[in-house]
């Protein structure tokens, strides 16, 4: 039964900016923290292949303030031939503070060109695969 990968992150003081709240780029860092925790066990961050991000969409739903702990939920929305779509949420307590959708491609580190997703990767990714129609 596919389920989101959950990772706990901690806000850092330097995530804040002069507006007093957590800066928007920190949301991008926290979403990335969730994605890489999913991809690392696939060997997709070291070795002959690497995952690159092609597109990132973030909805900033609520301000976040330091101090705080953030729960990052990461799911695979779509597994394509050479790319995958990732759906994510940030939560502080019960509040959803942000949502993201990203498109990732796997490249050959030498040639920097996209390569097809292997069956082995697909099999692992299926663990977190919740198609858009089934998403909460």
Interface residues with its own copies (CB under 8 A) are 8-10, 12-14, 16-21, 23-26, 28-30, 32-33, 36-37, 40, 45-46, 50, 52-60, 63, 66-67, 112
Nearer Cβ to its own copies (8/133): 8
Does residue 89 contact residue 80 with C-beta atoms inside 8 Å?
Answer: no
Q: What is the DSSP letter of 110?
A: T
Query: Closest distance between its own copies and the C-beta of residue 69, in Å?
Result: 10
Comparing CB distances to its own copies, the nearer of 12 and 127 is 12
Calculate the alpha carbon distances from 66 to 20, 28, 56, 88 in Å.
9, 16, 24, 21
Closest distance to its own copies from the beta carbon of 26 (Å): 8
């Amino acid at each position: 039964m596919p389920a989101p990968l959950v990772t706990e992150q901690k806000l850092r003081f330097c995530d804040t900016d002069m507006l007093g709240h957590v800066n928007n780029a920190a949301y991008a860092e926290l979403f990335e923290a969730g994605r890489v925790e999913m991809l690392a066990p696939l060997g997709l961050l070291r070795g002959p292949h690497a995952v690159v991000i092609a597109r990132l969409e973030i909805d900033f739903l609520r301000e976040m303030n330091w101090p705080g702990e953030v729960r990052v939920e990461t799911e695979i929305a779509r597994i394509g031939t050479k790319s995958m779509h990732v759906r994510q949420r940030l939560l502080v307590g019960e509040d959803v503070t942000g949502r993201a959708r990203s498109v990732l491609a796997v490249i050959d580190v030498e040639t920097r060109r996209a390569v097809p997703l292997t069956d082995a990767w697909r099999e692992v990714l299926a663990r977190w695969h919740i198609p858009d129609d089934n998403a909460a």
